Chain A
Amino acid sequence: MNRKEFIYKAALLGAGASIAPKALFAQNNDRLVILHTNDWHSHIDPFPVTDKKYPGLGGAAKRAALIKDIRAQNKHVLLLDSGDIFQGTPYFNYYGGELEFKLMSEMGYDYATLGNHDFDAGIGGLVKQLAHARFNFLCANYDFSNTLLDGKVNPYAISNKGKFKIGIFGIGIELEGLVPKKLYGEIKYKDPIESANETASLLKEKGCNLIICLSHLGYTYEDNKVSDTILAKMSRNIDLILGGHTHTFLSYPQGVFNKDGKEIFINQTGWAGVNLGRIDYEAHRANSSQILGFNYLNIL
């Protein structure tokens, strides 16, 4: 018996569990690993070692290596991004986002949402680079009718992984006043809370057992501006909000009670690809749910 197992069994005994231990040991098939980034802003190279704030941190090649390791250990991995992939280093000025999309495709990103800076080269500039993206963009609260993006961005997607039927959708920030009109053109912004709840409800109806919102609204604001925190409180059916825009470095996902009084989580990984977010979920039968919420699972 190794140490991990020992602690695990001790925990079980301590809890006086009458539930069969077998149900507690997560099989590979019962675990989903969600990896995510936001606002990586063309930071393809790591920060220089002399950087005062982020010495030697980040870098697409290091992120790729870590993702590969996690994939080697886990059968079900989802890799997501919450927008603002573009703009921030000369790579974007020189190559217009081509390399960013190529690298994300190579790392196996599944889905991303659009951030305000992803329009910095205009809708045309973004559409041009989509040829290099082997992952899909999702956004449920932008109406792309009469734009070049019409039909190229879906509101949501469903991904089946083992016991998980995951509904994923995107929510974008209001572009007016933030992005020059000539860059976002005829894109119409729709109320993010309404769009999010409608989409999440639809995904629930379609039988999703985990619903993820990729948001570029921002974590929280001093005023009443709509944010992930407000969305979380006003939401139904969403389990996890992976945010961006405010470049907020959270150390771990923040719990918020939604409109139904259920605790859901918000995470954001800062910016520039300094951190990779990771959140694991486990699938198990309803009757063993309490014990699986047990803290000792941290050790695994």
Chain B
Amino acid sequence: MPYKIFLIILVLFGCKTRITPVAQPTSNIQLSINDKSDKQIEDIISPYSLGMAAAMNEVIGYSTSFVEKKKPSSALGNFIADAVMECAIKEYPLSTICILNYGGIRSTLDSGEITVGDIFQVMPFENEIVILKLNTIYIDSLQNFIRTKGGEPMSDNINSLNKVATSDQDYFYLVTSDYMANGGDNYSFLTRATERIDTGIKIRDALLAYVKIHQPITFDTKIREL
């Protein structure tokens, strides 16, 4: 009977569609060195790449070893904080210590020739150096906060801050980034600084200058902690 057949069809097609994931053992596919490259995309990239090649490929220095960021501290973090401190102290000799944020370091730095492009990769942000005059009562907050974060890049260990704490000074001068000075990375207490000096110098420019001055750059691998 046609009526019956129609009913059966209805039942079959009336079944709900179910969606199930298909297990793939290689779900995240690595794009390896020998994989083929799309010509059309290469052609789009090419003029952009050429437009900045001369500036980016300029060799400005030499590194003795491969360095990467680590907690509580690393040779790369020490280098960056030292470079920023060296720049800041020229502008503002009272600077006590430089503390930056771990998250701000965006790449490793390879051994051998260092190009402008390498420094852009390590520090792509346009962040500028800020010096904050902070009451010494904030030394504890700074220490505790950095401990909870597991460490941050810094130009020195606890010594310079201890010296301030045991002296009769009421203030110390923290060299940092505008990002942190604005309370970024949850450094909200830094917004309570007594005074703020915006140097207008980009952190990246301080790194470029440091690499040019120190030939070759050698790295301090000592652990720096507050």
A residues contacting B by CB (< 8 A) are 31-32, 41-42, 44-46, 48-53, 55-66, 68, 87-95, 99, 102-103, 106-107, 120, 163-164, 177-181, 209-210, 239-240, 249-253, 265, 267, 269-270, 273-287, 289, 292-293, 295, 297-298, 300
Q: B93 at the A/B interface (Cβ < 8 Å)?
A: no
Q: Which residues of A contact B26 (CB under 8 A)?
A: 252, 278
CB distance from A42 to the nearest CB of B (A): 8
Chain B binding surface SS class: mixed
Q: Is the CB of A57 within 8 A of B183?
A: no
- Give Cα A283–Cα B29 distance, bound, in whole angstroms: 23
- Give Cα A31–Cα B30 distance, bound, in whole angstroms: 22
Q: Is the CB of A252 within 8 A of B24?
A: yes
Q: Which of B18, B45, B108, B124 contacts A61 (CB 8 A)?
A: B45
Q: Which of A88, A103, A276 contacts B41 (CB 8 A)?
A: A103
With A177-B188, A252-B28, A289-B18 already in contact, the answer to whether A99 and B125 are too (CB < 8 A) is no
Q: Is the CB of B68 within 8 A of A120?
A: no
Q: Is the CB of A285 within 8 A of B28?
A: no
Q: For the complex of A and B, list the 4 residue pairs with the smallest distance between their C-beta atoms, beginning with the closest.
A: A56-B33, A64-B38, A61-B37, A280-B22
Q: Which residues of A contact B51 (CB under 8 A)?
A: 94
Q: Which of A53, A163, A180, A282 contacts B20 (CB 8 A)?
A: A282
Q: B135 at the A/B interface (Cβ < 8 Å)?
A: no
- Give Cα A240–Cα B22 distance, bound, in whole angstroms: 13
Tell me the B16-75 residues at the A interface (CB within 8 Å): 16-33, 35-42, 44-45, 48-49, 51-52, 56, 66, 68
A44: nearest chain-B partner, CB-CB: B45
Q: Is the CB of A90 within 8 A of B56?
A: yes
A91: nearest chain-B partner, CB-CB: B48
Q: Is the CB of A61 within 8 A of B38?
A: yes
- Give Cα A251–Cα B52 distance, bound, in whole angstroms: 35
With A65-B38, A273-B31 already in contact, the answer to whether A287 and B124 are too (CB < 8 A) is no
Q: Which of A177, A253, A270 contacts B27 (CB 8 A)?
A: A253
With A177-B188, A281-B20 already in contact, the answer to whether A57 and B41 are too (CB < 8 A) is no
Q: B136 at the A/B interface (Cβ < 8 Å)?
A: no
Q: B192 at the A/B interface (Cβ < 8 Å)?
A: no
A-B contacts, 20 listed (Cβ < 8 Å): A32-B19, A46-B31, A51-B110, A89-B120, A180-B184, A181-B182, A253-B27, A265-B21, A277-B27, A277-B29, A278-B24, A278-B28, A278-B29, A280-B21, A281-B21, A284-B20, A285-B12, A286-B15, A289-B20, A297-B22
Q: Which residues of A contact B108 (CB under 8 A)?
A: 51-53
Q: Which residues of A contact B32 (CB under 8 A)?
A: 56-57
How many interface residues does chain B have, given as a range?
35 or more
Q: B91 at the A/B interface (Cβ < 8 Å)?
A: no
Q: Is the CB of B37 within 8 A of A65?
A: yes
Q: Which of A32, A66, A106, A284 contacts B29 (CB 8 A)?
A: A66
CB distance from B109 to the nearest CB of A (A): 10
Q: B219 at the A/B interface (Cβ < 8 Å)?
A: no
CB distance from A40 to the nearest CB of B (A): 11
- Give Cα A63–Cα B29 distance, bound, in whole angstroms: 10
With A62-B31, A275-B30 already in contact, the answer to whether A177 and B18 are too (CB < 8 A) is no
Q: B126 at the A/B interface (Cβ < 8 Å)?
A: yes
- Give Cα A26–Cα B18 distance, bound, in whole angstroms: 13
Q: Is the CB of A89 within 8 A of B124?
A: yes
Q: Is the CB of A60 within 8 A of B24?
A: no
Q: Which residues of B contact A210 (CB under 8 A)?
A: 19
User: Max chain A CB contacts within 10 Å: which of B29, B31, B39, B188?
Assistant: B31
- Give Cα A57–Cα B12 distance, bound, in whole angstroms: 48
With A93-B126, A252-B24, A284-B17 already in contact, the answer to whether A68 and B38 are too (CB < 8 A) is yes
With A61-B38, A99-B48 already in contact, the answer to whether A87 and B125 are too (CB < 8 A) is yes
Q: B221 at the A/B interface (Cβ < 8 Å)?
A: no
- Give Cα A56–Cα B28 distance, bound, in whole angstroms: 17
CB distance from B117 to the nearest CB of A (A): 6
